[in-house]
Amino acid sequence: MQESEPSGVGDVASPDTERRAALAAALAATGLRDGAAFRKVYQLTSAKLFGICLRICGERQAAEDVLQEVYLIIWRRAASFEPLRSSPITWLATIARNRAIDWRRANGHPLPPPPDAEPRAAVETADDAALADVAMIAREDAHHVHRCLATLDRGSRDAIRAAFLDGATYAELAERAGVPLATMKSRVRRGLLQLRKRMTDDL
């Protein structure tokens, strides 16, 4: 991960920067078996991680069961979190995404329908404290991948986004789009090649 440029000397840290630092510190302390720190991690991240589980699992009950497992994993693995390798919220969100995908595939659960639009309504149901994490991922590479994806044709872009956000396989993407498997593979692979080029050129 790249280091950000030095912000102006003596700058007051932005609220997001402070939240990121608070989360990093709480996660580090969780690694030392500090229950109160773990509670802090939960408070800062449960809405974000639940949003991930809900999107991938497609139903609330399953998503809550998966979320419970996710925090158990976090409690057990916090000591292996390396701040140099990833941001805390990326580390936590990746655990949630992987666990939710595992659950859906292990249970043979069908791919949930794609959300119609970005479901901002759901955001309104989360309280302020839970929203504290919303902007924590906001950083250069997030903008970068969004910017580069936006240059792809719509079919490739939607498929790649759905692959990531819904945790869909090729077979599921093909079924959802109503196209043959080979067509979907070609569509995604062409998109990925373009994306690779854009991201590298743009760096």
Cβ(159)–Cβ(184) below 8 Å? yes
Q: Which two tokens stand for residue 17?
A: 């920067």
Nearest-angstrom CA–CA distance, 127 and 131: 6
Which C-beta is closer to other proteins: that of 137 or that of 177? 137
CA nearest 48: which of 11, 7, 90? 90
Q: Which two tokens stand for residue 173?
A: 């993407």
Give 13's DSSP letter. P
**What is the helix (H) or strand (E) element at residue 14, kind and residue range?**
none
Q: How far is CA 59 from CA 86, 125, 141, 147, in A?
A: 29, 16, 30, 31
| Shortest Å, Cβ 185 to other proteins | 4
**What is the helix (H) or strand (E) element at residue 58, kind and residue range?**
none
Nearest-angstrom CA–CA distance, 83 and 27: 10
User: Residue 193 half-sphere exposure, CB side, CA atoms within 13 Å?
Assistant: 5
